[in-house]
Amino acid sequence: MSTIERLTQRFAGEGYSSSRFRDNTRFDIPSQSLVDVLTFLKSDCGFDLLVDITAVDLLEYPDARNRFRVVYALANTVTAERIYVRTHLDEPELTLASVVPMWLGADWMEREVFDMFGIRFAGHPNLKRILMPEEFTAFPLRKDYPLRGRGERHNFPVITRAES
């Protein structure tokens, strides 16, 4: 029985769906069941490696019903199988359960998603910005944030010859 069959058998109902794109297998889940699904995949299906956590801002995206999509890329290191677990979020409820207890490597990935999109991970041991400076206030990969920023990069003291 393939992984996606086992998944659809175990998790059925509102909010669950599976799809394929080229050779990618994707499984969409409601955000509350994230930990259940990932635990099932890790312990029962052998997906022991968390490859990546990332997010997509679906603002002004054709046919999008939600604002954010968070994608978990998993791999099975024995069978080299891969699966993409996706969940959707809307403002103001931008909180997901942290998977750091399951994969320690999720620490920096979740911090990056938080830094760039402002999605919070409940239970993360140290959820602070990882790429941008700590005093930065915006979430730069959101589509409503302008590419050139809001002048943050000009906000520094000027050192002239006279004072250096």
**Footprint of other proteins on this chain (CB under 8 A)?**
131-133, 140, 145-154, 156-162, 164
For other proteins, the closer CB: 21 or 156: 156
SS (H, E, C) 64-96: CCCCEEEEEEEECCCCCCEEEEEEEEECCECEE
Min dist. Cβ of residue 86 to other proteins (A): 27
Min dist. Cβ of residue 14 to other proteins (A): 35
For other proteins, the closer CB: 62 or 133: 133
Give the span between the Cα atoms of 135 and 146, in whole angstroms: 18
For other proteins, the closer CB: 35 or 141: 141
| 68 bridge partner residues | 57, 89
Min dist. Cβ of residue 12 to other proteins (A): 43
**Please, what is the angle between helix 3-10 and helix 34-43, to 10°?**
140
